[in-house]
Amino acid sequence: MNAKQIAGRKRLPADFLPVAVLLLVAALALLWGLGRGSLAAWDEAIYAQVSKEVARGGDWLTLHWEYRPWFEKPPLFMWVTALFYRLFGVGEFWARAPSALSGVALVWVTYLVGKRAYGGRVGVLAGAVLLTCYHFLSFSRFGTTDVMLTLFASLALYAYLRLSDGGGRWWYPAWSSCALALMVKGAGALVAPAAIALALALDGRTGDALRSKHFRRGALLALLIVAPWHALMYAWHGRAFVDEYFGYHVFARATRTLEGHPSGYLYFAGKLLDGFFPWCLLVPSAAVSEVRRWRRGESRAKVLLLFGALVFGVYTLIPTRRPWYIVPLYPALAVLVARFAVGLYGKYQTRPAHGRALAAACAVLFVVGALYSFVSLRLSREPEAPVARLARLARSTGPGDREPLLLLSETETLYAQVPLFYSDRPARQTYAASPPPAVEDAERYVSYQNLSEVTRTSPRRVILRREAIAGLSADYDVRVLAEDGPLAYATVARRPAFSR
C-alpha cells in the first residue's frame, strides 16, 4: 500500500479506542456470571415465566402467567426473552440477557448523547460514569423491563438532539424509540415524549415541528408500532384488559400506594445517594451549572434537564414508589455530571496545578464508584434459593403432569413465582391453621387454600418450612423427600378422621 492510499484511508474517530474499551468493560460487567443464582421472587420470576409461556405455548399476543391472561405490561420485553428461550433454551442467563444487553447498548447511547451535546470527551466520560453507577449495573443484571425502557428513552433523546442535522428526518427514530419504550413499559415511557414536547415549547419550536412532514409521519409510525397490539387486546379481552392494564397498573399506582410499600417524598433522594454514589455529590452543582447555561442561552441539552426533572418529579409525586422507577434518570445524570467535570477542568486548564488536582479528584471518584458498585453488587448477590432447588426436584415430567405444587405458609409467606418457574407445575399457596396476613392488592400472586381441602383425596407435593412438619404430624401423613436449608419438600396427605 503506497503513501497516497494510506493517506486516503478513512481514519477511525479519535475516541474509537476508549469507546471500544467502555463497551468491552460493559459487556464483561453485565454478562459475566449473569446466570448465577435463582430468579428473584415477584417481577424477575414473573417476567421469566410469562416469557416461557410465550415461547412454549406459541401465543405471542395475549401474554399469560400460570396459563391465565396477564395484562400487567406490554409484550416487547417478554417477546425478546421468549426469542432467546427459543434459540438458546430456558434459563436464568437468557431471562436476564435482554436487560443486560440493553445495558451494554445504553452505555454506547449515553456516550452518543454526551458527544452530541458537548463533545467526545464528555461522551466518553459520561459512559464511564454510568458504568460506575451501582443501580445501573444492578438493574442491568436483573431480568426486568427498566433498563430496556431506559435504552429506548435515551435513544429518543439522542434523536431529538440530532434534529438540527437531518432536516427533520431524525423525527423517525425519535418517535419510533418513544413507541418502543411504550411497548416495553406502557405509561412509564411517556416521560420521554413529555420532555421532548416541553423542550420544543420552551424553544418556541412546537409550531415548526407540527408543520414538519417528518414529525407527522414519525408520529404515524409510532402509532403503527403501538396501536395494533393494544387494539387487539381491547377487542379480544375488553374490560378485563382495560381494568388491569390501565386501571390497576396506571391509575391505581398513580393515586395510591399499592402492594404494601409506603414511602415518603424523600424516597428517591435516598435511592440516588445509594444508587449513584459518589457521583450524586456532583449532581446539584452539575444541575445548577446547566441551568445557568440555559439562562444564558448556551445549553445544548436542556432536554436532558427536563427529562431528569420529569422522571424525578413525577415518580416522587406518585404514591407507589420503587427503586427501579428512576433508572431512566441515570444516563441523563451521567451526561450532566460529565459535562460539569469537563467544564471545570477546562476552566482551570491554564493552571497546571489546579488541572492536575481536578483530574486526580475525578480519578478518585471513579475508583470509589467502581469499588462501591463492586462491593454493593457482591453484597446484594443472592445464591440459588432453597425453594428453587426444591422446586426443581418437583419438576413436571411433561405437559400431562399438571399436579399442583403446594406451598405451605404459616407465619411467613412462601410466594408462588419462583416455584412455578422452576417446577413447571401450577403453584398453590396453602395454610394449615390460618393464612398469613394478606398482601394488599396482590390477589393474583398471593391467595391461599386450606391444606386440609387440597389434600383430602390424595397425597400432594408440598414445599414447607421444616419446623412446620411436627405441627402437621397429628392430622397428616408427611413423607419428607428432600431438605434444603430451612425448607423441605414432602408429600402430604390428610389422615382419615377415624385414624386421628
DSSP 38: P
Candidates 33, 252, 209, 15; CA nearest to 112 is 15
Is the model's pLDDT at 484 over the cut of 60?
Answer: yes
DSSP 495: P
Please, which pLDDT band fits residue 180 given cuts at 50, 70 and 90? very high
Is the model's pLDDT at 310 over the cut of 90?
Answer: yes
Q: What is the mean pLDDT of residues 427-450?
A: 80
For a pLDDT cut of 90, what percent of the chain falls above it? Answer: 71
Please, which pLDDT band fits residue 166 given cuts at 50, 70 and 90? low
Is the model's pLDDT at 27 over the cut of 70?
Answer: yes
Is the model's pLDDT at 5 over the cut of 70?
Answer: no
Please tell me the predicted confidence (pLDDT) of residue 497: 65
For a pLDDT cut of 70, what percent of the chain falls above it? Answer: 95
Please tell me the predicted confidence (pLDDT) of residue 257: 72
Please, which pLDDT band fits residue 483 given cuts at 50, 70 and 90? very high
| Residue 258 or 217, more confident | 217
Please tell me the predicted confidence (pLDDT) of residue 237: 96
For 357-387, the pLDDT digits (tens) are 888 999 999 999 999 999 999 998 888 999 9
How far lies 199's CA from each of 192, 211, 307, 311, 446, in Å?
Answer: 11, 17, 9, 15, 44
Please, which pLDDT band fits residue 249 given cuts at 50, 70 and 90? confident
Please tell me the predicted confidence (pLDDT) of residue 9: 57
Please tell me the predicted confidence (pLDDT) of residue 438: 65
Q: What is the DSSP string of 266-332?
A: THHHHHHHHHTTTGGGTHHHHHHHHHHHHHTT--S-HHHHHHHHHHHHHHHHSSS--GGGGTTHHHH
Q: What backbone phi and psi angles, to 5 degrees, belong to 80?
A: -65, -45
Q: What is the mean pLDDT of residues 452-472?
A: 91
Please, which pLDDT band fits residue 487 given cuts at 50, 70 and 90? very high
Q: What is the mean pLDDT of residues 277-306?
A: 90
Q: What backbone phi and psi angles, to 5 degrees, belong to 397?
A: -90, -10
Please, which pLDDT band fits residue 25 given cuts at 50, 70 and 90? very high
Mean pLDDT of the chain: 90
Q: CA-CA distance, 29 to 132, in Å (whole number)?
A: 10
Q: Where is average pLDDT lowest: 7-11, 76-80, 90-94, 424-428? A: 7-11
Q: CA-CA distance, 397 to 385, in Å (whole number)?
A: 22
Q: Is the peptide bond before 262 cis (omega within 30 degrees of 0)?
A: no
Please tell me the predicted confidence (pLDDT) of residue 120: 94
Tell the burial category of 500 from Cβ atoms under 10 Å away from its Cβ (0-12, 13-18, 19+): exposed
Q: CA-CA distance, 88 to 284, in Å (whole number)?
A: 45
Please tell me the predicted confidence (pLDDT) of residue 427: 92
360 contact partners, CB below 8 Å, separation of at least 6: none
CA pseudo-torsion sign 25, 78, 234, 252 = negative
Please tell me the predicted confidence (pLDDT) of residue 3: 53
Please tell me the predicted confidence (pLDDT) of residue 195: 96
Is the model's pLDDT at 68 over the cut of 80?
Answer: yes
Q: What is the mean pLDDT of residues 458-466?
A: 93
Is the model's pLDDT at 4 over the cut of 70?
Answer: no
For 82-127, the pLDDT digits (tens) are 999 999 999 999 999 999 999 999 999 999 999 999 999 999 999 9
Please tell me the predicted confidence (pLDDT) of residue 34: 96
| Residue 67 or 31, more confident | 31
Please tell me the predicted confidence (pLDDT) of residue 70: 94
Q: What is the mean pLDDT of residues 241-252?
A: 86
CA dihedral (453, 458, 460, 466) in degrees, to 10, reads: 80
Please tell me the predicted confidence (pLDDT) of residue 485: 93
337 contact partners, CB below 8 Å, separation of at least 6: 126, 129, 279, 282, 283, 286
Q: CA-CA distance, 126 to 28, in Å (whole number)?
A: 18
Q: Where is average pLDDT lowest: 156-160, 338-342, 379-383? A: 379-383
Range with top average pLDDT, 262-266, 356-360, 414-418, 471-475: 414-418
Please, which pLDDT band fits residue 456 given cuts at 50, 70 and 90? confident
Please tell me the predicted confidence (pLDDT) of residue 259: 63
Please, which pLDDT band fits residue 496 given cuts at 50, 70 and 90? confident
| Residue 257 or 416, more confident | 416
Please tell me the predicted confidence (pLDDT) of residue 499: 55
Single-letter residue type at 314: V
Is the model's pLDDT at 11 over the cut of 90?
Answer: no
Instruction: For the beta carbon of residue 263, count every other beta carbon within 10 angstroms.
Output: 16
Please tell me the predicted confidence (pLDDT) of residue 352: 76
